[in-house]
A and B are shown apart, each in its own frame.
Chain A
Amino acid sequence: MENSTNNIDLLFKKKFEDFQPKPPESVWEKIKANLPKNPIGGLSGSSFVKTFVVILILAVPAYFLINFQEKPVKPPINKKTVPNTKLTIKNTPKIAEIEIEPISSDVVKNDEITPTLVNKKIAKPVSIKEEAQKTQITENKTVIVNIPEVEEQSFIIADNDLLLAYLPKENPQITTKKSTVNFNSKSEVTVFNTNERKKGNFNLGVFVNPEMIFYPSDDIPNKTNLNLNLSISYNFSNLFFESGLGIGLAKDNGNFNIDYERYEYLGSYENVYNVTFDSTENGVIPTFYTNTVDVYDSIRHVQISQTQNCYTYLQIPLFIGYKINSNKFSYSIKGGTSLSLLIFEKIPEAVLPSGNISIINLNEDNPGRIKTLWHFMFSAGIEYKLSDRMSIAIEPTFRYYMKSAYERNYFTTKHPFSIGLRTGVLIKL
């Protein structure tokens, strides 16, 4: 027993100084599952990249769709013979109704309306005098314009590419409604048809969609969500594409198990601190001197504090659908995917018991939500036209989650689904 020492403490301490065993990987996985999820400010790098890519994917087609919409469609210029015609403009404030009738059946030699006839974009409105004007358009074509009871008339200025009016031989008298006549300084006449429709159009929609989410494998009450969406759809013939942005609001009940001790009053007892014995005729009588002693002790309690957690998701949908229009009503079906990103969560602190307490353990038992969710969504809807530009819509929706919104250690359902009713207003742009 050489080198004997009674300092067993130091020997053990020294031995454990560099003792650093590696814990199993499962420990971190369990910790991660129990940690509060990050709000929008804490989006990790990979999540940010994913979000950026999705937005880019949506933005690129949207950009081309918008450009396609804004670029004027060039209608073919009709290369038919223009007879001598008389143009009568009936008075309307901005859009003139034009009646064109032939003065004679002679056919002009020029076989087509030459580009020089067509006005370039005119910067300011042109006035038209009251009296009828006789205007030489080309050598062989005369147009008489009668504008009764009109002192001064402004016309919509249009691009020369939109020249649409023509006077076919077979139909010498044509009434072109909602057309615009433009006169330049040389009294040349250009007739534009503003009634021409573009093939596609955009609709802007504002929707509210309350949903009920079902978790078939879990014995829990069904959950409700409220979604608010701003959608933009592009109609192309009967097909339409829809995207937009939405906010999804969800709530969960959370529990905190509070294991604590409180120094509490338990009661009191009479403490005998002295006894005296007095001898009387009847014998010895003891007299007890007492005082009251209060008893306190640390009592252990377990309390469950219930909280309500709120979660906000940013939703980016992308749908394709088919629509049938009939008078006031339109019927549609659509399907697609929707990406939900958890952008904000509010998890209240546990409400601690009052008084002088000492917390032994505080366990948070809140269902953890995952940050990125993909869904498939299908709906069938009816639209009712309130006016040319505005309609209301109602759509029952079905949403199928590609994975559960919760961490797997809380819920066993892999693919929850939800049923909702989407209602809103659509405005034609």
Chain B
Amino acid sequence: MHSEKKIIEKCLKNDTKAQEKLYRLFSQKMFGVCLRFAKNKMEAEDILQEGFIKVFSFLKNYRNEGSLEGWIRKTMINTAINYYRKNARFANEVDIDNYEVKQNVNESVIDRFAANELLKIINTLPDIYRLIFNMSAIEGYTHKEIGEIFNISENTSKSQLMRAKSILQQKLKEFENK
């Protein structure tokens, strides 16, 4: 923790070595996040690059209030959202209850997949489904927060998530049957 503080101080002085240290410390975790939000590896690299430039540019705004990792992760997610929001189109709201019923996935099925394979399935989702699934299901954003970010209602957010889950479920079954 102490060394993390030192690294931040040096990064604020634009010390390249400290910046590289910070990058090495978090790049792998963040690349994992970027890969989930991105459509493919190339776009994930772009997001990671843009995200870290923002991290170093706005590090002075980090107030030591939360963990540094959390702050960097949030920056990455925001970068990913900005990357795709231009083209994001929201489908019509659906009856959420209908989807809730269908969401039974066998745990052992998921266990059979490696993270890389699951990633491939997530990557096939349309942009907005992928974003909302990642934000809600994995990152723990509430539908209210998602609604504020995308300027949509909570219900719309919920219905997008349901659609995303439904597609994922379908794809998992397809994989399972192969």
Q: Is A277 in contact with chain B by the CB < 8 A criterion? A: no
Give the complex CA separation of A3 and B111 in angstroms: 12
Give the complex CA separation of A26 and B48 in angstroms: 11
* A contact residues around B13 at 8 Å (CB): 38-39, 41-42
CB atoms of B27 and A28 under 8 A apart: yes
CB atoms of B107 and A11 under 8 A apart: yes
B57 to chain A, nearest CB (A): 7
Give the complex CA separation of A369 and B17 in angstroms: 17
The residue of chain B having its C-beta at the shortest distance from the C-beta of A35 within the complex is B56
Q: Is A22 in contact with chain B by the CB < 8 A criterion? A: yes
The residue of chain B having its C-beta at the shortest distance from the C-beta of A298 within the complex is B151
CB atoms of B15 and A23 under 8 A apart: no
Contact mask B107-137 → A, CB, 8 Å, 1/0?
Answer: 1101001010011001000000000000011
Q: Is A36 in contact with chain B by the CB < 8 A criterion? A: yes
Give the complex CA separation of A13 and B36 in angstroms: 11
Q: How many residues of chain A have a CB within 8 Å of chain B?
A: 42
* A contact residues around B119 at 8 Å (CB): 19
CB atoms of A16 and B28 under 8 A apart: no
* B contact residues around A12 at 8 Å (CB): 110, 118, 122, 137-138, 168
CB atoms of B168 and A8 under 8 A apart: yes
CB atoms of B151 and A22 under 8 A apart: no
CB atoms of B49 and A27 under 8 A apart: yes
CB atoms of A22 and B28 under 8 A apart: yes
Interchain pairs with CB closer than 8 A, number: 126
* A contact residues around B168 at 8 Å (CB): 8, 12
A29 to chain B, nearest CB (A): 10
CB atoms of B138 and A9 under 8 A apart: yes
* B contact residues around A22 at 8 Å (CB): 27-28, 31
- List the one stretch of B89-97, B98-106, B152-160 in contact with chain A: B98-106
CB interface residues, B 57-88, toward A, < 8 Å: 57, 82, 85
Q: Is A356 in contact with chain B by the CB < 8 A criterion? A: no
The residue of chain B having its C-beta at the shortest distance from the C-beta of A345 within the complex is B14
CB atoms of B115 and A19 under 8 A apart: yes
Which residue in A23, A27, A37, A45 is a CB contact (below 8 Å) of B17?
A45
CB atoms of A32 and B104 under 8 A apart: no
Q: Is A387 in contact with chain B by the CB < 8 A criterion? A: no
CB atoms of A3 and B107 under 8 A apart: yes
CB atoms of A27 and B16 under 8 A apart: no
CB atoms of B14 and A42 under 8 A apart: yes
B120 to chain A, nearest CB (A): 13
Q: Is B20 in contact with chain A by the CB < 8 A criterion? A: yes
Give the complex CA separation of A341 and B22 in angstroms: 25
The residue of chain B having its C-beta at the shortest distance from the C-beta of A29 within the complex is B49
Give the complex CA separation of A232 and B9 in angstroms: 39
Give the complex CA separation of A88 and B118 in angstroms: 111
* A contact residues around B165 at 8 Å (CB): 8-9
Give the complex CA separation of A36 and B60 in angstroms: 14
CB atoms of B136 and A9 under 8 A apart: yes
CB interface residues, A 370-402, toward B, < 8 Å: none
CB interface residues, A 5-31, toward B, < 8 Å: 5-6, 8-9, 11-13, 15-16, 18-24, 26-28, 30-31
A276 to chain B, nearest CB (A): 34
Query: Given A13-B138, A20-B29, A38-B14, A4 and B106 touching (CB < 8 A)?
Result: yes
Q: Is A127 in contact with chain B by the CB < 8 A criterion? A: no
* A contact residues around B104 at 8 Å (CB): 1, 4-6
Q: List 4 additional A-B contacts (Cβ < 8 Å) besides A8-B137, A9-B137.
A: A3-B108, A6-B103, A21-B28, A23-B45
Interface residues of A (CB under 8 A from B): 1-6, 8-9, 11-13, 15-16, 18-24, 26-28, 30-32, 34-39, 41-42, 44-45, 259, 298, 360-362, 364
Give 28 pairs: A residue, B residue, CB < 8 Å, sorted on A.
A3-B107, A4-B106, A5-B107, A6-B100, A6-B105, A8-B105, A8-B169, A9-B138, A9-B165, A11-B105, A12-B110, A15-B113, A16-B36, A16-B118, A19-B115, A20-B32, A28-B20, A28-B27, A32-B20, A35-B16, A36-B14, A38-B14, A39-B13, A41-B13, A42-B13, A42-B14, A298-B151, A360-B82
State the 4 A-B residue pairs at the shortest beta-carbon distance, nearest first.
Answer: A9-B137, A38-B14, A20-B28, A42-B13
